[in-house]
Chains A and B, each alone.
Chain A
Amino acid sequence: MPKHYRPAGKKKEGNAARYITRSQAVKYLQVSLSVFRRLCIFKGVFPRDPKKKVKGNHHTYYHMKDILFLKHEPLLDKFREMRAYEKKVKKAVSKKNKDLAERLLTRKPTYTLDMLIRERYPKFIDALRDLDDCLTMVHLFAALPAIERENIQAERIHNCRGLSLEWQAYISRTHKLRKAFISVKGIYYQAEVEGQKVTWLTPHALQQVMPQDVDYKIMLTFLEFYETLLGFVNLRLYHSIKLKYPPILDPRLKALAADLYALTRYADAKDRTIGANNEESELRLAQLQDQLPANEPGALMHLVENVEDDNEDDEETKACKTLFQNKTFFLGREVPRESLLFVITAFGGVVSWDGDGAPFEESNQDINYQIVDRPTQSHRFISRDYIQPQWVFDCINARIILPTEDYMVGKVLPPHLSPFVDNEAEGYVPEYAETIKRLQAAARKEILPMPGGEHEDLENAQSLLAEGVIDRTEAKVAAEKKQKMALQEKQYHQELKKEMEGMQDAPDRNIDDVKNDSEENTDMSPQQLVKDDENMTMVSMSRKKRRLYEAMKISQGRKKANVETLETRKKNLKKNKKVTSD
């Protein structure tokens, strides 16, 4: 009897019983594919790869337990109910029973995703761990236009915008931002919340391209979940710093599209008047804040810096908090205001901007830095530096105040480096990264060795060899070095000898002699030796390990090749520069 044959009465076993394809699952749950998709997205159910694909390679397989998990979901019933209800409405409409249709529409069954979030993220920390995609999506939708055709509604865009700003306000208020990076794709931010690194991408604040071949329904389903999730996360975070959620904002600032500023103000004001307020007076308070300290920009946002808060902060937060302390910034019209407002306040700076609702004017004497992004600046105040926005981002990534000369208006900027790259692991350190490193060291009042001075210790290899701990290859390399050294030494001794003897012989011959001597010792070239050794260890490895080793070597080789291309490009650039300068 063949192995795959199953008698008629017998149950399926193994992979055939444990995994079902997507179309089977849809049939099993008796839903449409779109409902199934929604359920999967909301519940976080994903396909799994069985060891043996019973139905073939081109299918998507779900685990039966996952499908049962979906089957018992109350949301599934809710979806069915909603579908039935829609039919009711449709019937009423088609029978021209307008009243009934209207009445029915007012009482549409709705659903919430609250319990699903609790179920998927039993602990708050789990939610934070999975927040990256959520934040990226919400920030993207905050920048998209509302399109009726694709069912992207204006309220949802506004909601996304609100949620993203609330999140940013929290991060900047608690100084949790760690890294920021302007890329072509947008601006990446990384914050550390409760020990979790949360990274998100905000698109550049421009008209976004809306491709036609994208299924916005799927994205909106994801967004629905993410909106709920971020709402709950924001509430939790706001409560943790004793703020009310949702925040009540000054409508005037909101109208001026300075929501983030309004939010920071809200947070600050709450600090000042803890416990003193009724809920009703909050709105008035929010409006009052606008008039109260209008003349004192320094006091505005940092009127109350809670001293007791400092104790809770860890070292890094403290460093972030004090980076731009007592520095006042002014943003030009052309600068991305929202992003800089967020970043600078997150690092303890005070910001104003050119436009309505700004806390202070351009002519204010306290301003240290004016951030502009134009070819030339005509009118200048002497007391401040006119710098390009990249300076802020480079400063926060380096955690020091960088010298502003390179970033002045109209200058060609130094390269903007990604803070997410581990240069050492990558094997290639860009030039500017080294400069920044030296500046950092200078800021810490340390002295780093100048680059280029490599002290290869020969003794080290020898001692290692003596210990007999090192690998053979290492020993080989060491031996090679030793050989070279011996060769040089020999040559040197001979020369000495000759000098002593006073003979003036041709030095070329001597070197040849020495070389011949050394070659007699080992008749093979050192490369050959190393290769042999490599081969021999490969022979003694098991197949699995050998494959793994080879794969690792391949990836290492790829990395190396990348680094090499970078280095050749750099060399070529230098050459070209020289040619042009000549």
Chain B
Amino acid sequence: MKSLLVTLNTRVLKVLLFLTMIMRYDSIFSEGNDDRNSDSELDSGSGSEDEDGEHPSNEAGLSDGVDNFDQGDQSASEDSREVVDESDSSEDEVGPRNTIGDVPLKWYEDEEHIGYDVAGKKIKKKERLDKLDSFLARTDDANSWRKIMDDIEDEEVELTKEETKLIRRMLKGKAPHADFDPHAPYVDWFAWDGAKHPLSNAPEPKRRFIPSKWESKKVVKYIRAIRKGLIKFDKPKEEPRFYNLWGDETEESRHGLSYIPAPKAKLPGHDESYNPSLEYIPTQEEISAYQLMFEEDRPKFIPKRFTSLRSVPAYEKSVRETFDRCLDLYLCPRARKKRINIDPESLKPKLPSRKDLKPYPTTCYLEYKGHKGPVVSICTDPVGQHIASGSHDGTVRIWEVETGRCIKVWELGEPVQHVAWNPLPEFPILAVSMGQDVLVLNTGLEKEENKMIADLLRVETTPAPDDSESAGSSVSWSQYDKYEGIRIKHFKTVSSVEWHRKGDYFSTVMPADILLILQLCSRSRACLTILIHLLSKKLTQRLPFKLHGLPVCSTFHPTRSIFFVSTKKNVRVYDLVKKKFIKKLDAGVREISSVSIHPGGDNVIVGSKDGKLCWFDMDLSSKPYKILKSHPKDITNVAFHRNYPLFASSSDDCTAYVFHGMVYSDLNQNPLIVPLEILHGHTSVNGRGVLDCKFHPRQPWLFTAGADAVIKLFCH
């Protein structure tokens, strides 16, 4: 064993290393070369036996080594015989010439020396043969295969025959020496028989006789794992990946909330074809026009034409679109939407035929021309023979209905706001609002009872101020000088005048500023903006209620003592006898412009400045029964017919609508409202169209007054 170790000197080791590098035979000597120090230690331990002369080459090497030591310089051929034995403990042996030890040779790469000798002198590097020369040298020398380079010593070493043999044997995986028998019979040199005492007197321990606890524990663990199926010995059988999932057609319904299937992707149209008809391809101008559009409006897909299938490229957005679809599928909220696939015409309500609802005004029959400015207000006399009109040109005219002749003209000099005829046929009196004045004029159309009228229209020149309750201070009654009549001077502009059905009372509305109202209302609870005048006694009263908001117009109930005041937002209904507020009709429109009461008294229509017409059934609710969005512009006036089931609305869009509005005596039946006719004819002046409309009291005729200074009569 020792001899074997001895032979494994460093040179051989180096050779082996070299060989392994060449042959990549790393498996055998991987242990040998990884730790040179251990080997050298072994060597040092056996240094004394080295001299036994097993290797004559050793001695030769020794002498050579001494020589080298002395000379300091030597040739390669001399060094070939050298044996480098790294046993440094023995004095007899000469260690390696280079003393750098086991350090990487890389450190000396750039230096001129390769290391230091024992004396600490630098050992110079030798000139290396260049490749060609070394190759030539190799080819010339038959022993070149034995020569290897020792990098540390920087010299070439030639291996001996024995050494090469040794290497060959090791490469084969055998013991290095031929005469070493690895399987020699064991010789027990220790003589047991003669020993008096055993080596140990301890009794045999118990554990020698019982099975191992830990082993059994391990076994139990394995058994359990096997039983549980954690350890499997045979590979699991390949189950078929797919099977008949819907084999048992049990009627199983989906769990969870109701499933809303995703809408299917849109199917392609003609324009998505690779070869669409030419008309589907947008022109260059159209494509450039797309750039001006908003990004959302821009078409996502621009049709393109390819002449053949081979020229169609891959669609660059195919992955992107599939991805978008995926996002839609899991991120978009889904909801069931009812999609109505019907003809839009079927949405139109089935209305009774208009033929059955005749008569109603359809065509323009007469035009009353003469005014110079927009005709603001018209009014028919209770019989229906005459019509009065007030205009912004400062005149009030009376026309004969049938002929269109102008009977009378009053030059009042100030724009007229409103005209109203006394509802009693025996008193042909006209109330005219004009600026801050209200005039009550005698028309002089009734010859016989002229005296009575004259009496009625006479005012004492110095009207004694009444008690403060009746607001006498703010209103003054006086005789009108220019024409026969009374002049009632108000403190604000009067917008409308309405007669009570009995022809004695009339109300005036002053849409004052909000500040003024506040001021007035703070002084007294009663409303100052609406006044009720009593013609026979020349008295003026305030409305004894508080009003919220600006009044727009007021009306008396056609049969009972009920008074309607409309503010901009709602219509307020008061009982004049009980002096009580009855109800509020909430129209829900932007601004009310006009109100009209059905002759029955239970239904009210309200026109608004946003073009809506609300029909209120007072018995039903305070909310509108029906809202008709008829006009695109402001509704200026609405009117009921006294006898026929007709009502009309006039608007600034130069049209007037005529509706059929049937109110049934049966309370369970709702009123029937049918639009009948749109009356055109007026022209727009300064953005204003038809300013007033009134029905004829007996006939189904409609008068309309326009901003174009014309009054029209529409007949059936």
Contacts and interface: CB of A to CB of B under 8 A. Distances in A.
Interface of A: 37, 40-41, 44-49, 60-61, 63, 65-66, 69, 114, 117-120, 122-124, 127, 129-130, 132-133, 136-137, 140, 144, 181-186, 188, 199, 203-204, 206-211, 214-215, 218-219, 222, 231-232, 234-236, 239, 245-246, 334-336, 373-374, 388-390, 412-413, 415-418, 420-421, 426, 430-432, 468, 471, 473, 523-524, 528, 532, 535-541, 543, 545-546, 548-549, 552-553, 556, 566-567, 569-570, 572-573
A61 B491 CA distance: 63
Contacts of A239: 244
A437 to B, nearest CB: 15
B277 A182 contact: no
A440 B251 CA distance: 44
26 contacts: A66-B257, A119-B254, A122-B251, A123-B249, A127-B246, A133-B262, A136-B322, A182-B275, A186-B318, A199-B264, A208-B318, A214-B319, A218-B326, A234-B242, A235-B244, A415-B277, A420-B269, A421-B267, A524-B680, A532-B678, A536-B676, A536-B678, A537-B348, A540-B349, A552-B347, A567-B279
Contacts of B334: 46-48
A539 B344 contact: no
B142 interface: no
Contacts of B246: 118, 123-124, 127, 232, 236
Interface stretch (B62-70, B165-173, B309-317, B450-458): B309-317
A413 B273 contact: no
Given A211-B320, A549-B348, A566-B280, A182 B274 contact: yes
Please list the 10 inter-chain residue pairs (A to B) with the smallest Cβ-Cβ separation, ordered nearest first.
A420-B267, A206-B314, A552-B344, A415-B277, A536-B675, A570-B279, A183-B272, A47-B333, A49-B333, A569-B279
B255 interface: yes
Contact of A203 (B315, B345, B349): B315
Contacts of A117: 245
A69 B329 contact: no
A468 B350 CA distance: 13
Contacts of A432: 277
A448 to B, nearest CB: 21
A540 B335 contact: no
Most buried by A among B244, B268, B269, B630: B268
A413 B309 CA distance: 10
B143 interface: no
A48 to B, nearest CB: 6
B351 interface: yes
Given A66-B257, A418-B269, A140 B678 contact: no
Contacts of B216: none
B345 A471 contact: yes
Given A412-B307, A540-B675, A431 B332 contact: no
Contacts, number: 268
A184 B312 contact: yes
Interface in B602-636: 627-630
Contacts of B273: 181-184, 415-418
B161 interface: no
Contacts of A528: 680
Interface string B412-431: 00000000000000000000
Interface in B324-352: 325-327, 329-335, 340, 344-345, 347-349, 351
Contact of A573 (B260, B264, B265, B278): B278
Contact of B242 (A183, A246, A334, A572): A246
Interface in B230-257: 241-246, 249, 251-257
B147 interface: no
Given A412-B307, A552-B344, 15 more contacts: A46-B260, A46-B331, A47-B333, A49-B333, A63-B257, A114-B245, A119-B254, A122-B251, A209-B316, A214-B319, A232-B243, A413-B307, A549-B347, A553-B344, A570-B278
Contacts of A538: 629
Contacts of B347: 541, 545, 548-549, 552
Contacts of A40: 330
Nearest to A205: B314
B492 interface: no
B503 interface: no
Contact of B318 (A47, A118, A185, A420): A185
A170 to B, nearest CB: 14
B308 interface: yes
B329 A133 contact: yes
A548 B343 CA distance: 11
A181 B309 CA distance: 12
A184 B675 contact: no
A45 to B, nearest CB: 8
Contacts of B71: none
Most buried by A among B261, B262, B675: B675
A512 to B, nearest CB: 23
A159 B345 CA distance: 54
Contact of B245 (A63, A232, A246, A532): A232
B329 A46 contact: yes
Contacts of A541: 347-349
Contacts of B630: 535, 539
Contact of A236 (B244, B261, B319): B244
Contacts of A114: 245
B701 interface: no
B257 A556 contact: no
A140 B318 contact: yes
B318 A390 contact: no
Contact of A209 (B257, B282, B318, B329): B318
Contacts of A532: 677-678
Given A208-B319, A546-B629, A69 B277 contact: no
Given A209-B314, A374-B310, A543 B265 contact: no
A540 B344 contact: no
A65 B256 contact: yes
Contacts of A417: 270, 273, 277
A431 B277 contact: yes
Contacts of B526: none
A185 B270 contact: no
A182 B268 CA distance: 10
A336 B267 contact: no
Contacts of A468: 353
B278 A235 contact: no
B209 interface: no
B294 interface: no
B323 interface: yes
Nearest to A572: B283
B259 interface: yes
A453 B672 CA distance: 47
Contact of A122 (B254, B261, B318): B254
A391 to B, nearest CB: 11
Given A122-B253, A184-B315, A412-B307, A569 B283 contact: yes
A431 B276 CA distance: 11
Nearest to B270: A418
A537 to B, nearest CB: 5
Nearest to B673: A540
A66 B277 CA distance: 48
B330 A46 contact: yes
A462 B270 CA distance: 39
A114 B243 CA distance: 9
Nearest to B302: A184
A428 B420 CA distance: 61
Nearest to A213: B320
Contact of A49 (B255, B262, B320, B335): B335
B613 to A, nearest CB: 9
Contacts of A566: 279-280
A413 B277 CA distance: 10
Contacts of A389: 309
A211 B277 CA distance: 31
B657 interface: yes
Given A390-B309, A420-B267, A41 B331 contact: no
